[in-house]
Structure 1
Amino acid sequence: MRTSKSFSAALFVASALAHGNITSPPARQPGAAMQQACGADAVSAILSDGTGPLENIPSNGGANCNIFLCKGAQFADNQALVQQFSAGEVVDFAAQLPIPHEGPANVSIIDTATNTVIGDPLIEFDSYADENLATLPPNNTAFSVTMPVDLGGACQVAGECVMQWFWFGTSAQQTYENCVDFVMA
C-alpha cells in the first residue's frame, strides 16, 4: 500500500474539528474536479471540517455530484491515492472519532458507477461510536477487513470501486463516510 505523509497531516488538521473520519488507508479528498461537480461551497465545507456529516456538505446539485458517494469527492482528484490489494488480503483501518454518535457502521465495497454495494459488508457494527461509553471499544478506531476472494471481475480498474466506511449516528441523525480507492491485484 502507498501512503502519503502530507495526506496524513492534512487529515490530522481536519479531524481535530469534529466528528469522525478514516485516517488510514488514505481516503478520497476534495479537489478541483469536486469543485467543478459539486461547487466551491461543498469543497470548502470538507476542507474546513473533514470529519463533519454529509448533511453539512452543500451541493450545487450538478448531475455529477453525489454527496452520498464519497462525500462528492471525485476520483479525478485522487488518482495518486489508489491502493492495490489482493484477494484475501487483510487491510488495516484507522479512524478518528473525536465526537462519537452511536449508530450502525460498516465497510463495504461500492461500485462507483451505480453507488451500489458489491457483495456483503467487509465488517459491520450494529452499535458504533457510542457516546454513552466512557471509552470507545478499540475496534471502533482500529479494525481490519479481509478483501473478498471473488469480486466477479469487478474492481480491476482504478476508479471502478471504493471501500466505503459508512456510519450513521442514530440520535444525531448524521451520516459519515469516507472512501478508499483501490484495485484488486
Structure 2
Amino acid sequence: MLFTLLQIASLAALAHGHGYISTPPMRMPGDATTAACGKSVVADIVKDKTSHVEGLPELAAKDSGYKAAQCNLWLCRGVQFADNAANVQTYKPGETVEIKIALTIPHVGSANVSIVDTKTNTIVGQPLLSWPSGYADERQFYGKTLPANQTDFKVTIPTTLDAKCATAGDCVIQWWWYGTGARQTYESCIDFTVAAA
C-alpha cells in the first residue's frame, strides 16, 4: 500500500499541465518569443502548454537571451504576437465565440475570460465571463467531470470596442485562472481583430 501511495505521489510530482485554451488556437512561442524571453522560457512552454506563470521568471532570469523590456511574462506568458500572426481570428461586434479549455489538473480558484489591451496589459471594459470562486474545484473533479461551463463556453464580442481591437496584435482574448491552493496562475491568449461597429 505504501509503495502504491509513493508511486502515485511521484507521478503527481512529475505531472505536467493544468489548463490552456484548446480552441480557438492560442498563442504559442516561436523565434520572436525566443528572442525576447530566451530559450529556457520557450522550452518550458513548448514542453508544457500549461506552464504556470510563477515558474517562468526564474527560468528567464537564468537565460542570457531574456530581455525584460520585450518579454512581459504576465501577458500571455511572454509569448509574442509575431509568432502568431497566422492565427489571428476575425470577429464582428456582437459575435458569439466558442472557447474550449483543456483542464488537465484542477485547482480550485477564480478565473475569467477578458479582452486585454496588449500595450498596457489591462482588461478592456468588464470580463466577458468570470468565475469569482469555485473554478476547477478538484473536489468536484475526482471521479467526475468539472461543470461543462468551465471548459466549454461561449463569450460575446462587445459592441463597444470601436476601433480599439481593429489592428492585429493590439488585443487578445485572455483566459486567466488562479489556483488558490496551488498558488499558480495559468493564462492563454487568442489573437483577434474586430472591425469598428
Q: Look up the match of 2:40.
A: 41
- The CA deviation at 1:18 is 1.5
Out of 73, 76, 89, which is 1:70 matched to?
76
Counterpart residue number, 1:91: 97
After TM superposition, list the pairs within 5 Å mapping 1:8-19 onto structure 2: 17-19=16-18
2:140 to 133, 141, 146: 133
Q: Specify the structure having the higher radius of gyration (Cα).
A: 2
The alpha carbon displacement at 1:61 in A equals: 4.9
- Inter-partner Cα distance in structure 1 for 2:99 and 2:16: 20
Aligned residues: 170
For 2:31, the equivalent position in structure 1 comes to 32
Question: Which residue does 2:127 correspond to in 1?
Answer: 121
Determine the C-alpha separation between the residues in 2 that align with 1:179 and 1:64.
Answer: 17
Whether the 8 Å contact between 2:93 and 2:158 is mirrored in structure 1 is yes
TM-score normalised according to structure 1 size: 0.89
Post-superposition shift, 1:86? 0.5
Q: Which runs of 5+ in 1 are unaligned?
A: 1-15
Report the residue type matching 1:55 in the other structure.
Answer: E
Partner Cα distance (1:140, 1:179) in 2? 16
Deviations 1:47-92 (A, max 9, x none): 1111121112222352100111011000000000000000110000
> Would you say the 8 A contact 1:45–1:56 is kept in 2?
no
CA distance in 1, matches of 2:119, 2:102: 28
SS, match of residue 99 in structure 1: coil
Aligned alpha-carbon RMSD (Å): 1.2
The 8 Å contact of residues 108 and 122 in structure 1, kept in 2 or not, is answered as yes
The two structures have a TM-score, normalised by structure 2, of 0.83
Question: Residue 17 of structure 2 aligns to a residue in which SS?
Answer: coil
Identity fraction in percent: 51
Q: Distance in 1 between matches of 2:55 and 2:45?
A: 9
Task: Tell me which of 80, 86, 90 is aligned to 2:86.
Answer: 80
Query: SS in structure 1 opposite 2:119?
Result: coil
CA deviations on 1:25-61 (whole Å, 9 max, x unpaired) are 1110011100000000000000111112111222235
Please identify which structure carries the higher helix content.
2
Match of residue 9 from structure 1 = none
Indicate conservation of the 8 Å contact 2:117/2:123, yes or no. yes
